Amino acid sequence: MKKALLVVYPEQYIIEEAKALAEAAGYEPADIISQKYLSRAKFGIGSGKAEEAARIVRENHLDAVVFDARLSGSQTYNLAKLCKVEVKDREKVILEIFAMRASTAEAKLQVQLAELNYELPRAKDKVRMAKKGEQPGFFGLGKYEVDVYVRMMKDRVGTLRKKVDEVRNRRVIFRQHRARMGMPGMAITGYTGSGKTTLFNSLAGESKDVGVGVFTTLSPTTRGIMVDHTKLLISDTVGFISRLPTYMIEAFKSTLEEVSYSNLVLLLVDASEPEEKLVRNFESCTWTLSELGVPEGRTLVVMNKADLLTGEQLGEKAWRLGLKDPVAISAKTGAGFEKLMGAIEERLGASRQVATTTPDGGVNAPH
Ligand SMILES: Nc1nc2c(ncn2[C@@H]2O[C@H](COP(=O)(O)OP(=O)(O)OP(=O)(O)O)[C@@H](O)[C@H]2O)c(=O)[nH]1
Ligand SMILES: [Mg+2]
């Protein structure tokens, strides 16, 4: 494993998540610098801190700097030049994890598209720097060739988008088929590591990979289960994470469209998280769901990992999330499943009564 210096905001839960991300991407967080501001113009961090980072890297023979925020192309370049090792920002780290774990052709295409969307503004930065003479000979290219390189990247984005759309169309056909068969769908969504796959496995009698780290699941799986004498299609989905750029959601849209077109969206929260993290993660999930066009009324919030909490703690956390009649379960032990199934039946029953069919054949539940 490469040893890295982690640069991160000074909050315990943010540090923990940053560590988990770094590890999942193959970096061992050997040292940490925490800073309240990670958006300073030249290096992301202030010049003094950047010097300190360079010293830590040098003295401890580290291989990389992992920066848990977004960096522009020029910030990355400046920091890498100062520290003399590679610099990976948060988005790049997430992309690397996705690239390592993408196993289906579709996921691979999606990751490539997200990578290009990540590189494009940075390539433009490089063009600007090359033009100002600040970064001559980037890739051994002169400034005109760099212009050509950016144009080439834009073309590739176009080609990839078309391919991703083709796969997406196949999903649309599959969805139309399901809708014609009158099968309702439920997507299990939530922050990465909240226990979606564990729940999916329990409900569907499957044995999909469950992980301790982040982003164990990248491709959605759908299975049918019987609920109230009706076949319900449940889908396990890719986890959400805070500060996820919209272009990444865009790249994974065909996967996440399963969510947009579901009759019911189960939002699973890890109730064992400390309160502040719980609330922040919940907010980032509801933000992502709204980015995906899921109306609030279609979401069923379920508190998971209840086995790790007392009833009193659960009540307190439900209150913090504003849940009036909380459904609390343990995906691991099966506790609370009866209430969960009851809530699912009730919500599906209500959605069936007023369900209409959308032009593409998807079933559109009431807003
Ligand atoms: N104690 C306890 N642990 C749980 C429960 N549900 C899941 N876990 C654990 O939480 C970790 C993450 O579980 P996963 O099911 O992989 O979570 P996920 O939401 O699918 O994660 P990603 O696919 O990475 O987004 C694993 O170590 C599970 O064993 C639960 O009800 N109780
Ligand atoms: Mg999973």
Between 106 and 328, where is the model more confident?
328
pLDDT at res. 352: 67
Whether ligand 1 lies within 6 angstroms of the CB of 198 is answered as: yes
**pLDDT digit string (tens) for 174-216?**
888 887 888 899 999 999 999 999 999 999 999 999 988 888 8
- The pLDDT of 64-76, averaged and rounded, is 95
CA dihedral 113, 114, 117, 120 (to 10 degrees): -90
Distance (angstroms) between ligand 2 centre and the Cα of 208 equals 8
- Cα separation, 91 vs 181, in Å, equals 40
Judge whether 351 lies within some domain.
yes
Residue 47 has pLDDT above 70, yes or no: yes
Judge if 116 and 32 occupy the same domain. no
Judge if 89 and 142 occupy the same domain. no
Domain final residue, candidates 80, 97, 114: 97
Number of domains in the chain: 3
Q: Fill in the DSSP letter of residue 134.
A: S
Between 172 and 6, where is the model more confident?
6
Distance (angstroms) between ligand 2 centre and the Cα of 14 equals 21
Residue 89 has pLDDT above 50, yes or no: yes
Whether ligand 1 lies within 6 angstroms of the CB of 189 is answered as: no
Judge whether 228 lies within some domain.
yes
Judge if 74 and 123 occupy the same domain. no
CB neighbourhood size of 153 (10 A): 17
119 and 153 Cβ atoms separated by less than 8 Å: yes
Residue 331 has pLDDT above 60, yes or no: yes
Residue 351 has pLDDT above 90, yes or no: no
C-alpha dist (Å) from residue 334 to 107, 200, 202, 216, 324:
31, 12, 8, 21, 22
Judge if 276 and 332 occupy the same domain. yes
Judge whether 175 lies within some domain.
no
Judge whether 75 lies within some domain.
yes
Ligand 1 atom nearest 215 alpha carbon: 24
Domain final residue, candidates 113, 128, 160: 160
Judge if 137 and 228 occupy the same domain. no
**pLDDT digit string (tens) for 218-267?**
878 889 999 988 899 999 998 999 988 888 887 777 678 778 889 999 99
Distance (angstroms) between ligand 1 centre and the Cα of 367 equals 30
In the chain, % of residues over pLDDT 70: 91
CATH number of the domain to which 248 belongs = 3.40.50.300
Judge if 33 and 137 occupy the same domain. no
Judge whether 132 lies within some domain.
yes
pLDDT at res. 174: 81
**pLDDT digit string (tens) for 130-141?**
667 665 555 555
Nearest CA to ligand 1 atom 7: 195
pLDDT at res. 367: 34
Judge if 190 and 68 occupy the same domain. no
Number of helices (H) and strands (E), helices first, in the chain? Answer: 12, 12
pLDDT at res. 355: 47
SS3 (DSSP) at 302: strand
Domain final residue, candidates 49, 65, 97: 97
Judge whether 199 lies within some domain.
yes
Distance (angstroms) between ligand 1 centre and the Cα of 350 equals 30
Whether ligand 1 lies within 6 angstroms of the CB of 220 is answered as: no
pLDDT at res. 9: 96
Residue 359 has pLDDT above 70, yes or no: no
User: Where does the pLDDT of residue 171 fall: very low under 50, low under 70, confident under 90, or very high at 90 and above?
Assistant: confident
The b/e string for 305-343 (b: 16+ C-beta within 10 A; e otherwise) is: bbbebeeeebeebbeebebeebbbbbbbeeebbeebeeb
- The pLDDT of 296-319, averaged and rounded, is 96
Judge whether 169 lies within some domain.
no
pLDDT at res. 141: 57
Judge if 113 and 93 occupy the same domain. no
User: Where does the pLDDT of residue 84 fall: very low under 50, low under 70, confident under 90, or very high at 90 and above?
Assistant: very high
Judge if 71 and 23 occupy the same domain. yes
Residue 128 has pLDDT above 70, yes or no: yes
pLDDT at res. 115: 93
Judge whether 204 lies within some domain.
yes
Q: What is the mean pLDDT of the chain?
A: 88
Ligand 1 atom nearest 211 alpha carbon: 16
User: Where does the pLDDT of residue 165 fall: very low under 50, low under 70, confident under 90, or very high at 90 and above?
Assistant: confident
Distance (angstroms) between ligand 1 centre and the Cα of 271 equals 11
Q: What share of the chain is helix, strand, coil (3-state, %, to 5)?
A: 50, 20, 30
pLDDT at res. 56: 98
pLDDT at res. 275: 94
The b/e string for 173-186 (b: 16+ C-beta within 10 A; e otherwise) is: eebbebbeeebbbb
- Cα separation, 137 vs 147, in Å, equals 13
Compute φ and ψ for 172, nearest 5 degrees.
Answer: -60, -45
User: How far is Cα of residue 310 from the mean position of the Cα atoms in its chain?
Assistant: 30
Judge if 216 and 354 occupy the same domain. yes
pLDDT at res. 365: 39
Judge if 315 and 204 occupy the same domain. yes
- Candidate ranges 51-60, 99-108, 120-129; pick with highest mean pLDDT: 51-60
CATH number of the domain to which 25 belongs = 3.40.50.11060
C-alpha dist (Å) from residue 290 to 52, 249, 265:
41, 11, 12
Residue 114 has pLDDT above 70, yes or no: yes
Residue 360 has pLDDT above 60, yes or no: no
- The pLDDT of 98-103, averaged and rounded, is 87
- Cα separation, 102 vs 97, in Å, equals 8
For residue 337, the surrounding DSSP H or E stretch is helix 337-354
Which of 103, 208, 210 maximizes ligand 1 atoms within 8 Å of its Cβ, making it the mutation to test the pocket? 210
Tell me the chain's radius of gyration from C-alpha atoms.
Answer: 23
Q: Residue 120 sits in which domain range?
A: 102-160
- Cα separation, 293 vs 118, in Å, equals 23
As beta bridge partners, residue 235 has 187, 222
Judge if 148 and 186 occupy the same domain. no
User: How far is Cα of residue 238 from the mean position of the Cα atoms in its chain?
Assistant: 7
CB neighbourhood size of 219 (10 A): 18
C-alpha dist (Å) from residue 41 to 44, 47, 74, 120, 153:
6, 10, 9, 20, 26
Residue 277 has pLDDT above 80, yes or no: yes
- Cα separation, 10 vs 62, in Å, equals 21
**Nearest CA among 188, 181, 353, 361 for reference residue 285:** 188
